[in-house]
Amino acid sequence: MVFRPRNSSLNRRNFLKTSASSVVFAGLFDLNQTQPNVSARGKRVIIIGAGIAGLAAARDLMDTGYSVLVLEASNKIGGRIRTNRALGVPIEEGAGWIHGPKNNPIMKLAEQSGQKTFVTKDSNFTVYNHMGKQVSNQKISKMGQEHEQMLGLIGSGMNKDMALSEVLEHMAPRMTRNPIFRWMTSAYTEFDTGSPVSELSAMYFSQNDMFEGEDVVLVDGYDRLLEPLTHGIPILNRKPVQRIAYHDRVGVFVQTDKEIFESDFVIVTVPLGVLKAKDIEFIPPLPKIHRNAIERVGMGDVTKIAMKFDELHWPEKTQYFGLMTQTQGRWNYFLNHKPFINANVLTALSFGNYSRMIETMDHDYMLEDAMKAVRTMFGSDTPDPRHYIATRWSQDPYTKGSFSYAKVGSDPYDFNILSEPIGHCLTFAGEHTDFKYHGTVHGAYLSGKKAAKVAMETML
């Protein structure tokens, strides 16, 4: 079955003439339209977004015999899986690791596609204080144990949600003034969540599940995983969706900036940041329970600058570097690419509020700021990189952030309600729809497969 835009100017005018749902429904759904009698497998599904959630859903639906069309707003597939090869080697602007490879479905995809992987070891690190003096690994490890124990205590006996920063200040005021503890709270906790600790739910920030095993990177690029998922799937790029009108009896009408598409079911996999911005109008409006969940769940941010140098200016075999910058979240964690791609590339990372701020600056300022951190660690004579790549996920109109987090006032139910279908023709997918694995590629992938199953069961 072929998907095509509606060509009727009358229907198009009816769709566009107002955003008031009652009038739009009068134009669209009071025509007593009926759907043809077709088998469940003959029904049509539109998927909004060609990230891994949308592609996983499309793959399962197509393999089961459904007609599928994927509409992607940007000019490329992958969503927040974005591998950039402008430096001559694969650099991950978004997803960078397979977190916990044991029994992880993303690791299985990598194995099936013959991907070469490299195990990154959290224990392979060097940390510097804000003056550039190396801190002993013994001190870092000792504080790391205390940091982990303290975070483990938080939430266990709480009966009222508060910001993690507030609870830490109350429970361990001395620790929060320790520069090593402060660095860990940012480089570990803010990195993991993408959120400033001042916004993180102390009750739920660390209750998501994880697969086992040390994290791995995909040497040839994360985007290679997408190839088997996309085979044979019709994907239209540069199709930003503006409105979705849905009705159990008539089906779904999806309006882009130029066209209107029809289907029996729609799976919306756009990032949470896009939903929070209300860039897509739903007609009728989403149920209040879904709208409240979208508002309560947080959308975090992580900024990367990958810098390629003519020569190596840091220890070749050290995988991670930490810097206790005095500003929370500012370029305090670095990944050394040399061990797995044999290139003089160093990626600097910022998190939380600093990430949101620095992404409003131009690229030259971001580079200059990151290089101040690099020179603190490796010497004031460290030259600028020959080339660099900087990310701006919070400024990207089709993401508006990096990944979701448990914000103060939210709870696991807010994530999970977003995976529940609305009527018989609409559901959501994406890492933000599964509290258990939110903020991860495997969470997004599994949510897409779940959404496909929901669509199939709902359309029976």
Nearest-angstrom CA–CA distance, 144 and 395: 33
pLDDT at 1: 41
Residue at 235 is within a domain: yes
Q: Are 190 and 19 in contact (CB under 8 A)?
A: no
- Per-residue pLDDT of 242-283, as tens digits, reads 999 999 999 999 999 999 999 999 999 999 999 999 999 999
- Phi/psi for 105 (5° steps) reads -60, -25
Residue at 264 is within a domain: yes
Given a cut of 50, is residue 445 above it in pLDDT? yes
The mean pLDDT value for 59-77 works out to: 96
The mean pLDDT value for 419-426 works out to: 96
Give the rounded distance of the alpha carbon of 95 from its chain centre. Answer: 7
Q: If you search the block for the tokens 């807010």, which residue do you land on? A: 414
- Per-residue pLDDT of 318-327, as tens digits, reads 999 999 999 9
For strands 241-247 and 281-283, give the pairing: parallel
Whether this prediction's pTM lies above 0.75 is answered by yes
Given a cut of 60, is residue 12 above it in pLDDT? no
- Phi/psi for 269 (5° steps) reads -115, 20
pLDDT at 155: 65
Nearest-angstrom CA–CA distance, 91 and 147: 31
Q: What percent of the chain has pLDDT over 70?
A: 90
List the structure tokens of 295.
Answer: 């508002």
Residue at 286 is within a domain: yes
- Per-residue pLDDT of 37-52, as tens digits, reads 334 457 999 999 999 9
The mean pLDDT value for 100-128 works out to: 94
Residue at 367 is within a domain: no
The residue type at 49: G
Which of 2 and 147 is assigned the larger pLDDT?
A: 147
CB burial of residue 140 (10 Å; 0-12, 13-18, 19+):
middle
The mean pLDDT value for 400-426 works out to: 96
Q: What percent of the chain has pLDDT over 90?
A: 83
Nearest-angstrom CA–CA distance, 454 and 70: 17
pLDDT at 209: 79
Min mean pLDDT across 124-128, 150-154, 177-181, 212-216 is at: 150-154
Q: If you search the block for the tokens 């910022």, which residue do you land on? A: 350
Whole-angstrom CA distances from 309 to 220, 362, 364, 417 are 20, 21, 16, 47
Residue at 287 is within a domain: yes
**Could you tell me the CATH number of the domain that includes residue 38?**
3.50.50.60
Sign of CA dihedral 159, 165, 166, 169: positive
Sign of CA dihedral 413, 416, 421, 427: positive
Within 10 angstroms of residue 36's Cβ, the number of other Cβ atoms is 6
Residue at 161 is within a domain: no
Number of separate domains in the chain: 1
What is the b/e burial string over 217-246, where b = at least 16 CB atoms within 10 angstroms of the residue's CB?
Answer: bbebbbbbbbeebbeebebeeebbbebbbb
Give the structural domain span for 413.
9-78+223-298+405-459
Residue at 294 is within a domain: yes
Given a cut of 90, is residue 157 above it in pLDDT? no
Residue at 353 is within a domain: no
